[in-house]
Amino acid sequence: MCYAHGMRPSPSPFAGPMPVLSTDQLVLRAFVASDAVAVEAAVSDAAVAEQTLSIPHPYPPGAADDFIAATQREWSAGTVATWAVVQQDVGAVVGAVMLRFAWPHRRAEIGYWIARAAWGRGIATEAVRVVLEYGFDRLGLHRVEARRWVGNEASGRVLTKAGFRDEGVLRGALVRDGIARDVIISGRLRDDPR
């Protein structure tokens, strides 16, 4: 693989459809318009939205359609890859995992959410692991980082299980609902032990 054009992978995967990623219990695929109902049901939950930086609460009507359309544009532009997380046995969308790229640094920031009804079954950990594998092995990323609010213990466990190390606390770094909050930054390098 070579990294011309600002370190992006070449040939570009973004010219084609998003790759489908499979694990024991999950399929990760591109979002489609008909997923809007499942997205809205999951992220309307304050317990999901308030742990994220940008999902509004209450969740406005039509926001899920806009979110899905944005994921399609962002993949084609090569700026963000967002997978729908589907439980194989149920066939339902239960979450999302995204990589936001900083190509000049071969780095991405990972984000994710899982519908509350599906928490505690290892779904986030499995989804994050397969996305990391794709990012490191197929996209040539060097580093993936994550930011979470101080106190988001479940997300911290997911990241630890996926091989991330906490790197520090960014005091008052990100504003949500008008409040500047402390953020834990963590990272995993491609060459860290898997």
Ligand X SMILES: CC(C)(COP(=O)(O)OP(=O)(O)OC[C@H]1O[C@@H](n2cnc3c(N)ncnc32)[C@H](O)[C@@H]1OP(=O)(O)O)[C@@H](O)C(=O)NCCC(=O)NCCS
Q: In angstroms, rounded to a whole number, what is the distance separating the alpha carbons of residues 62 and 37?
A: 10
112 touches ligand X by CB under 6 A: yes
Q: Could you say whether residue 154 binds ligand X (CB under 6 A)?
A: yes
130 binds ligand X (CB under 6 A): no
Q: Which two three-digit tokens encode residue 157? A: 């466990």
Cα–Cα distance measured from residue 89 to residue 100, given in angstroms and rounded to the nearest whole number: 29
Q: How far is the CB of 76 from ligand X (least distance, A)?
A: 25
> What minimum distance in Å lies between the beta carbon of 112 and ligand X?
5
Q: Are 82 and 97 in contact (CB under 8 A)?
A: yes
Residue where the block lists tokens 């990589």? 99
Binding characters for ligand X, 36-55, by CB under 6 A (x = yes): ------------x--xx---
Q: Identify the three-state secondary structure at position 171.
A: strand
Torsional sign, CA 111, 130, 82, 135: positive
171 binds ligand X, rule: CB under 6 A: no
Q: Which of 29, 107, 148, 188 is close enough to bind ligand X by CB under 6 A?
A: 148
User: Quick check: 85 binds ligand X (CB under 6 A)?
Assistant: no
23 binds ligand X (CB under 6 A): no
Q: Does 71 bind ligand X (CB under 6 A)?
A: no
State yes or no: residue 113 binds ligand X (CB under 6 A). yes
Residues 6+ apart with CB under 8 A from 52: 111, 113
3 vs 7: CA distance, rounded Å? 4
Q: Determine, following the binding rule CB under 6 A, whether residue 26 of this chain makes contact with ligand X.
A: no
Chain residues binding ligand X by CB under 6 A are 48, 51-52, 112-114, 119-125, 148, 152-155, 157-158
